[in-house]
Structures are given as structure tokens and as C-alpha cells.
Structure 1
Amino acid sequence: MSLQFLNFDFSEDPEGGGTFDAMASVRSAQLAAARAEIAEVLDWAETAFAGQRAPLDEGGEWDVDLQEHADAASPPWHVLTLSISGSAAFCAAFMQRFGLDSDD
């Protein structure tokens, strides 16, 4: 899957896991497509690591934080922020699936 709206930055932790952070800022006409891209990423995580979503410090393999807001401009910009944290195994699979490397 080629990502059009999300450009992930990766921060590695000492245990080899880490966090992928991305932000998309779109107009209303692109909002559905940006949300669909986020849904595809999360669907992959839910499928590839089924039943393993939980805070990492509670034994989970991966967890996510998704935020969305619109500014007051007319037309508004919609800002979506996505942070996905995961174990070393999750991060390696995520990088492989979305064509990322640890320098991205």
C-alpha cells in the first residue's frame, strides 16, 4: 500500500520497539480519503497483530492514539494526527508493510 496522506516519523526505544507518528492536514474534499488511509493502516495492525492492542507497559504489542480537529478558517483545514507505538516485532512488520526504514 502506498501512503498518500501519511508520512511517518519513527522514534525507536532502547528495546527495539518504537513509535510511528504522522500528521495529515487536508481540506474537506480530501478528508474522507485521509480517514480511509488511516483506517487501512489500523486495519492492517488489527489483522496482523489481532487481539494484541493494549498499552505496551501492560503487555500489548501495539497501541494507537488518533486525534482529529478542524481549524476555524473557511474553508477549514482538517488536521489528523496518528501515533502508533509497538514492540520490536510490530515495528519491523510495520516498516516492511508500509515500505519504511528506521531512517524514515
Structure 2
Amino acid sequence: MTLRYLTFTLSEDTDGISTLDAMASTRPESHAEVMREVQNILDWAHRRFPDRHGPIEDGMAWNHDLLVQEEDGGWHTVTLSLAGSPQFIDAFAAEFGDAMD
């Protein structure tokens, strides 16, 4: 799946939890496209890892945080963070590798 707006950066915290972070800031006319990308990613994660969404430290495969803000001048900023197990990160890279730094 090709993503046009979201590019993810992978990081790992001191507890060994991997996180993928992406942010897109767009004019109002492109906001719906960004939100479709977000929904496509979340739909993929739910299909690929059903019943495994929740805190990683509780043994789940993935979790997410989504923040949508309207900025001055009508800009919309969308931030999507995905925390994942090694299996989730590998599957994400196989599916969305072109969208990773």
C-alpha cells in the first residue's frame, strides 16, 4: 500500500518498545486524504493483528495514538503513533516499507 502523506520514523525506547511516528500538516482540501491514509493503516492493523490492539506492556501486538489539530490559517495537523511488538513492526515494514524513513 502506498502512502502519499504519512512518512513513519521508527524509534525504540529504553524498555525495548518500538514506535512508528508520522505527522502530516495539510490544507483543508487535503485533510480527508490524510485521514483516509490513517484509516487504511488502522484497518490493516486490525485485520493483520485482530484482537491484539492494546498496551504493548500487557502483551498486545500494537497500540496507537492519533491526534488531529486544526492550526491557524486552516491547516490541519495529523499525528499518528503506533507502538508495536517486533512482529507488528516487521509486518508494518513489509506492508508500508516505502513510507518509512
Matched residues, number:
101
Are the counterparts in 1 of residues 17 and 56 from structure 2 also a CA contact under 8 Å? no
* Structure 2 CA distance for aligned equivalents of residues 15 and 8 of structure 1: 20
Are the counterparts in 2 of residues 25 and 77 from structure 1 also a CA contact under 8 Å? yes
- In structure 2, list runs of 5 or more residues that go unmatched: none
Output aligned runs, 1:34-49, within 5 Å.
Answer: 34-49=34-49
* Structure 2 CA distance for aligned equivalents of residues 15 and 67 of structure 1: 24
Relative to structure 1, is the Cα distance of residues 79 and 22 closer, same or farther in structure 2, using a 3 angstrom cutoff?
Answer: same
TM-score (norm 2): 0.91
What is the RMSD computed on CA atoms of the aligned residues? Answer: 1.9
- How far is 1:71 from its partner? 1.1
Percent of aligned pairs sharing the same letter: 40
Residue deviations 1:34-86 (CA, integer Å, cap 9, x gap): 0001100110000000010011111111000000001122xx11000000000
Q: Which structure has the highest helix share of the two? A: 2
- How far is 1:99 from its partner? 1.8
* Structure 1 CA distance for aligned equivalents of residues 72 and 19 of structure 2: 30
- In structure 1, list runs of 5 or more residues that go unmatched: none
